[in-house]
Amino acid sequence: MTTLSKTPSGPDSVPAPDTQPHYTDAERKTTLTGLMVVFLLAALSQTIVGTAMPRIIEDLQGFSLYAWVTTAYLLASTVMVPIYGKLSDLYGRKPILIFGIVVFLLGSALSGLAGEPWLGHFLGGGMNQLIAARAVAGFGGAALFTITFTILADMFDPAERAKFGGLFGAIFGLSAVVGPVVGGFLTDALSWRWTFFVNLPLGLFALFLIASRMPRIGHRTGGKIDFLGALFILGATIPLLLALTWGGVTYPWDSPTILGLLGGALVSLLAFLFAESRASDPIIPLGLFRVPMFSIGNLAAFVVGMAFFGVVMFLPLYMQMVLGVSPTASGMSMLPLMAGLMGSSILAGNIVAKNGAYKPWMIGGGLLLMLGLWTLTGLQADTTLPELYWRMFLVGLGLGPAQSLFTLAIQNAVSVRELGVATSSSQFFRQIGSTIGAALFGTLLMNNLHTELPKHLPAIPGAEVNAANMDLGALRAAGSGQGGPGEKIKAAFAEQYTLIEKALDGDQAAAQAVAANPQMPNELKTLVGGGLRAQVHDKLSTQAAAIKAALSQGEAGRQALLNNAETPQALKTQLQALPAQALATPQGASAVAAQVSQGVLAQEDAAYEQAKTQALASIKTKLDEQGTRLADEVNTGLKEGFTAAMTRMFGSAIWIAALAFLITLFVPVLPLVSRRTSQGNAAAEEVEAVKS
């Protein structure tokens, strides 16, 4: 076989537009191995961070920016995807892939350093630093996915790509299992920073394989980068994402800010279409959209990408916040979803490689995805992990075929000379969908939390829940039942008891604080404000008057007091000790009555201390009961409110999956052909005829 690197015209030139060069088996195997490592690196970068995100936003205090950690990466990589595709057409796949790996590793290192004390408030704090670093990683990461699939299209026929596409889908599934587990372990054992630092050794190994082992893949001469088109893509996507992220949370949907962003996105989109229609070498040739498979396939991939992130990005949150599992356990708990994804992806790829029938798998996957999302809307705050697992497996079965078949079908519908731009366009639309999905579902979750949490939380004056400033650590603790807002409520009740105790001891500041607390019952405020001593004094005065009146009647009065069950035992003992002659005369009886009543009044301080001890014991019991009950209500309310917000979000994802299914029904069916045969050339000529 003659390899491209040995052609006389140069190390990176290509043969005729609609034929593929031939590579040796050794070159293909070596390249395939290197691409697998690169693909694993790219996939891990998106899956390893998910389980660490609750700890990250707890540490960096940025729940409202949660979605932007993912969105920044996707946004930067999305904008660069078509540019890398064009660059690889002009300058070769290998140098562009190496450049992308280097930039990606730089972004990973910066992500791990975000929020370090020595960075201070650079860029506004740790969360903004992380978002910026993720954007750098995305800028380089765009090359990893895009060039990988383009090289596969360069070196393998469509039938072979179907099989390898399933294999790469399995690698993505493997990364989605290994990534969360490794990310959770690193977060628990070391720090969330290592979820980014771990990319460095794997990336350096991938860099070594690509630089030293992969042959140079051809490129065509001539042409230039459409920077104006890239600028308009940026101008369309950033305002759109900002509008989706801020709408209904930071600003009302009908506010000038949101309407202005949406208007700016629309203007930039129109400008992009105008510029591309006149560009000599556009980033995305508009003529490709006249190829039905290209236009319909990309639209379906765009919508599927939105639904995919609605599930994968937020399920770890549900497991940690509601079910109380650790980051490591939540990573392991993604295994059922990825097992379904890997199984259906590999099975679909191998069968399509044999019979070429890709559309039935696309349709079947869409139906399973809708069914799986519908089952997720039935989640409850007390759902068990096994009850969640079978739902996730069903969703994974539906997602699997879409991971590779849309790209395969699109590549099969264009000529060899357009494989680079067609592949990058496919990745671009898929990532645009994922980016919009991340922002859209993040906004939906925030809006749902604003609606659902007040419904499920007990009314506590002065303690209204603000989802934008939510303490994620407290919410996670509520899910695990350890610490969190429930324990804080119990601690607050304990502080109130200490304050009441000080007030009853005569501390005026404490008494004023109790009186000013709107949650304190009026009876307790009265008790603390001198009411208890007044009650003791009144009780003793009444008792002394009754004793004096009874003893003034002589022996008959004494007997009445002795027979009265309410007479204190100490007083009965004192009365029994009185000699009979002391009460024999009216004067003697009056003297004894006065003496005994004065003795009763003299016991006021001791009686007050006894009453205070009894009152405090009663108050503590009631406060403990109320604190425990309210803590349980708050913890349960947080979990129920979060679950309700999540299930509403999954309900929205069903409609998006249904739209993807309807679009898939219109995907045309084309035979998988070899580019090295006359049939392949005929297919390419047919594509050219459609576009012209």
Name the pLDDT band for 465 (thresholds 50, 70, 90): very low
Structure tokens at 424: 């990058």
The SS3 of residue 251 is strand
Statement: residue 618 has pLDDT above 80: no
The letter for the amino acid at 326 is: S
Structure tokens at 388: 């969640």
SS (H, E, C) 349-398: HHHHHHHCCCHHHHHHHHHHHHHHHHHHCCCCCCCCHHHHHHHHHHHHHH
SS (H, E, C) 648-684: HHHHHHHHHHHHHHHHHCCCCCCCCCCCCCHHHHHHH
pLDDT of residue 692: 45
Structure tokens at 84: 């890398």
The SS3 of residue 281 is coil
> Where is average pLDDT lowest: 204-218, 589-603, 659-673?
589-603
| In the chain, % of residues over pLDDT 90 | 9
Across all residues in the chain, what is the average pLDDT? 75
- What would the pLDDT profile of 390-425 be if each residue is shown by its tens digit? 999 999 898 888 767 887 888 788 777 777 778 778
What mean pLDDT do residues 516-543 have? 68
Produce one character per residue of 446-481: b if its CB has 16 or more CB atoms within 10 Å, e if not: bbbbbebbeebbeeeeeeebebeebbbbbbbbbbee
Structure tokens at 267: 């203007």
pLDDT of residue 679: 42
Say if CB 434 and CB 308 are below 8 A apart. yes
Residue 611, H or E segment: helix 604-664
pLDDT of residue 485: 57
Structure tokens at 55: 């700890």
Name the pLDDT band for 21 (thresholds 50, 70, 90): low
Burial category of 6 from C-beta neighbours within 10 Å (exposed 0-12, middle 13-18, buried 19 and up) = exposed
The SS3 of residue 334 is coil
Statement: residue 567 has pLDDT above 80: no
| CA angle (243 as vertex; 240, 246 as ends), nearest 5 | 145
Name the pLDDT band for 677 (thresholds 50, 70, 90): very low
Statement: residue 638 has pLDDT above 90: no
> Where is average pLDDT lowest: 84-98, 336-350, 454-468?
454-468
Q: How far apart are CA 107 and CA 129, in angstroms?
A: 11
Statement: residue 106 has pLDDT above 90: yes
Q: Tell the residue number behind the tokens 């305002």, with chain if given.
A: 239
Could you tell me the domains of the chain? 4-225+281-456+633-691 (1.20.1250.20), 522-602 (no CATH)
Residue 685, H or E segment: helix 678-691
Q: How far apart are CA 680 and CA 232, in angstroms?
A: 35
Q: Which of 501, 503, 454 is nearest to 645 (CA)?
A: 454
pLDDT of residue 14: 35
Q: How far apart are CA 95 and CA 149, in angstroms?
A: 15
Cβ atoms within 10 Å, residue 365: 27
Name the pLDDT band for 475 (thresholds 50, 70, 90): low
pLDDT of residue 525: 60
**40 vs 691: which has the higher pLDDT:** 40
pLDDT of residue 393: 92
Say if CB 4 and CB 215 are below 8 A apart. yes
Name the pLDDT band for 167 (thresholds 50, 70, 90): confident
Helices (H), 279-314: 292-312
Q: Is 506 left (phi over 0), alpha (psi -120 to 50) or beta?
A: left
- What would the pLDDT profile of 329-378 be if each residue is shown by its tens digit? 766 777 888 788 878 887 887 788 777 788 898 899 999 999 999 999 99
Q: Which of 350, 24, 305, 315 is nearest to 168 (CA)?
A: 350
DSSP 101-169: HHHHHHHHHHHHHTT-GGGTTGGGSHHHHHHHHHHHHHHHHHHHHHHHHHHHHHHS-HHHHHHHHHHHH
Q: How far apart are CA 411 and CA 78, in angstroms?
A: 19
- Reported residue count of the chain is 692
pLDDT of residue 100: 92
Q: How far apart are CA 354 and CA 403, in angstroms?
A: 18
Name the pLDDT band for 159 (thresholds 50, 70, 90): low
Q: Highest mean pLDDT range out of 2-11, 86-95, 394-403?
A: 394-403
pLDDT of residue 439: 72
Cβ atoms within 10 Å, residue 281: 15
Say if CB 32 and CB 39 are below 8 A apart. no
> Where is average pLDDT lowest: 191-200, 394-403, 614-623?
614-623
Name the pLDDT band for 488 (thresholds 50, 70, 90): low
pLDDT of residue 320: 78
Q: How far apart are CA 330 and CA 196, in angstroms?
A: 18
Q: Which of 631, 658, 356 is nearest to 484 (CA)?
A: 631
pLDDT of residue 351: 83
DSSP 17-83: TT------HHHHHHHHHHHHHHHHHHHHHHHTTGGGHHHHHHHHT-GGGHHHHHHHHHHHHHHHHHH
Statement: residue 113 has pLDDT above 50: yes
